[in-house]
Amino acid sequence: MILPIAKLPSKVLRKETEEIVFPLKKDIKRLVLDMLETVKKADGIGLAAPQVSKSLNMALIYLTESGVPPFMLFNPRIIKASKQTVEIEEGCLSMPGVFGLVERPKKITVEAEDLEGKTITLTDDGWIARVMQHEIDHLNQTLIIDKFKNITKGEELLTKYSEKK
């Protein structure tokens, strides 16, 4: 089922997320499938549960166009980040049309649980690292609007997404 995507200023994007416990409950397994369908339909490259109005500590990385099979991160934490940073233009499905430069560590190591509850460790310094950091930010109620160095596109949409109303 395709789920509606929460957009700013929706408060759910700023709500604390709940840890995922294993074995996964039926409704979480269903949510994984729904998130897959939703990100595909939205033409996204990642989706965090709060973006589909679920305050749960889980996110989907969907970089199939870069040849990476889709994978889930449950309770992810960044355990290592490089001093070297890179500035890359990012957008967000929760703020469509707005793009800006975001500075982040180039290389990170993430620890998370997989679908079976097994702890996995992932290290990357390319797109996967980028998208994982963006999604983990969502799980910690941080949005790119908090991090923009400058806006490259869609500045006129900012009033629409403003949380100060």
| 135 given a catalytic annotation | yes
Residues constituting the chain: 165
CB-CB contact of 13 with 51 (8 Å): yes
Q: Does 132 bind Zn ion (CB under 5 A)?
A: no
Interface region with Zn ion, contact rule CB under 5 A, candidates 62-70, 78-86, 87-95, 114-122: 87-95
Query: How many chain residues bind Zn ion (CB under 5 A)?
Result: 1
Select the span of 9-17, 57-65, 67-75, 89-97 touching Zn ion (CB under 5 A): 89-97
User: Is the Cβ of residue 24 or residue 38 nearer to Zn ion in the bound state?
Assistant: 38
Q: Smaller CB distance to Zn ion: residue 63 or 92?
A: 92
User: Shortest approach of Zn ion to residue 1 CB, angstroms?
Assistant: 21
Element (DSSP H or E) covering residue 102: strand 99-105
**Which distant-in-sequence residues (6+ apart) come within 8 Å of 146 by Cβ?**
none
At residue 22, the 3 state secondary structure works out as coil
| Residue 108, CA distances (Å) to 61, 87, 114 in order | 15, 15, 18
Identified catalytic residue from 135, 155, 156, 163:
135
Burial group, residue 120, by CB count within 10 angstroms (0-12, 13-18, 19+): middle
Q: What string of H, E and C letters represents the secondary structure of 137-149?
A: HHHCCCCHHHCCC
The residue among 6 and 92 lying less far from Zn ion, judged by its C-beta, is: 92
Contact stretch for Zn ion (CB under 5 A) within 29-37, 88-96, 125-133, 145-153: 88-96
Work out which of 20, 28, 92, 108 binds Zn ion, going by CB under 5 A: 92
Give catalytic residue positions: 135
Binding residues for Zn ion (CB under 5 A): 92
